[in-house]
Structure 1
């Protein structure tokens, strides 16, 4: 007798994305029909993302709740702010945030989530999987890597399988994302 086959999901690589691009994202979708199917955020530069890797300065953290506590944090890169959360389903990330005192450079791997506000706006937050204290040099290297990844997405936009959806959802001005990249690079040179 053979064992029934179970569908396994491969953990996707975390994409490097600047806060300003993630802030512009608002379209999310699920690939597959079951509850374990991955949920993606479509980035304006034409690539889907299930996980992201960000590095920036932890500028604020707040503990909410007692019994079912969670941490909300703000992490700033040279282009803007990420809103990060970690709760009881992310105990490692929650403990890591609890140990940190702002301001501190941190590296975060997490899942982007879209939330619709009562007035119809869509906000993107990051549900942290891991949070690690880093130094300025690591942050600067991340900015370089993120700049390269962003420019690669822009260059590949026309051939991206998600370009049509990105055009429909965002009608992105790709030149403005190039400017964001150059501004971020200039910020770390100061």
Structure 2
């Protein structure tokens, strides 16, 4: 029987969750890709991320590989781009450090003598705009909170396996999501500048409302982040 290979979905995941991962899974059929299981039970082979290109360094004897570090609101993704990824390699040559970038990447695991190390291999990389980054953060926050909810229920096999392997502290990841969303407001400096003396600090609920308004999201498609955070 021939197993037809399909392109894996590029998952939305924050840097901290992905980089905290170490466990890998391979399906039973021949030539199955290797998946990474995250501490929140996400089984992924490809990811889509938007963040700041913090580092771009040529490595290797012939300097034909770039080591990159991309920052999001929770940490950094470390990746390698070589000539076997020509589209990403050529694009990266033209992108400056500290540029906001969007990338679709394969997830890989390097097994050292003492630990496993997760890294990404970008397939595509291109400059991104702040609005896309903001929506990615909120969308990824929602996906992360949904995974936390699944972990609490413990109904899926991946959730149970992740809990067993990582002994995941769900409250830590929930706090990570809150902090990631709060940091979005750092890009809206005018909000803080217009704040009157003694005025109360902006709440997370107000942030989400502002983001939905700013991103021109239809009412029926508004991100229900507050409900997920309360669970």
1:148 aligns with 2:148: no
Q: Match of 1:101?
A: 96
C-alpha separation in 1, matches of 2:124 and 2:169: 32
SS at match of 2:146: helix
SS at match of 2:157: coil
Please state how far the C-alpha of 1:75 moved relative to its aligned partner: 0.2
1:129 aligns with 2:123: yes
Gap runs ≥5 in structure 1:
none
C-alpha separation in 1, matches of 2:70 and 2:144: 19
Please state how far the C-alpha of 1:33 moved relative to its aligned partner: 4.8
C-alpha separation in 2, matches of 1:6 and 1:89: 27
TM-score (structure 1 length as normaliser): 0.91
**Cα distance per residue 1:12-65 (max 9 Å; x no partner):** 21111101111111101221353x311100011112111111110001101224
Instruction: Please say if residues 32 and 38 of structure 1, whose CA atoms lie closer than 8 Å, have aligned partners that are also in contact.
Output: no
Instruction: Please say if residues 19 and 82 of structure 1, whose CA atoms lie closer than 8 Å, have aligned partners that are also in contact.
Output: yes
Q: Match of 2:20?
A: 24
Question: Which one has a larger percent strand, Structure 1 or Structure 2?
Answer: 1
**Cα distance per residue 1:86-138 (max 9 Å; x no partner):** 112211111111110111001111111111233x1221100111111102221
C-alpha separation in 1, matches of 2:127 and 2:86: 16
SS at match of 1:22: helix
Instruction: Please say if residues 14 and 52 of structure 1, whose CA atoms lie closer than 8 Å, have aligned partners that are also in contact.
Output: yes
Aligned positions, number? 184
C-alpha separation in 2, matches of 1:44 and 1:65: 32
Gap runs ≥5 in structure 2:
187-231
**Match runs of 1:66-81 below 5 Å:** 69-81=64-76
**Which is greater in Rg?**
2
**Match runs of 1:56-95 below 5 Å:** 56-65=51-60, 69-95=64-90
Deviates more, 1:131-140 or 1:62-71: 62-71
SS at match of 1:10: coil
RMSD, aligned CA? 1.6
1:188 aligns with 2:184: yes
- Among candidates 127, 132, 139, match of residue 138 of structure 1: 132
Question: Which one has a larger percent helix, Structure 1 or Structure 2?
Answer: 2
C-alpha separation in 2, matches of 1:19 and 1:65: 25
C-alpha separation in 2, matches of 1:160 and 1:54: 25
Please state how far the C-alpha of 1:67 moved relative to its aligned partner: 5.4
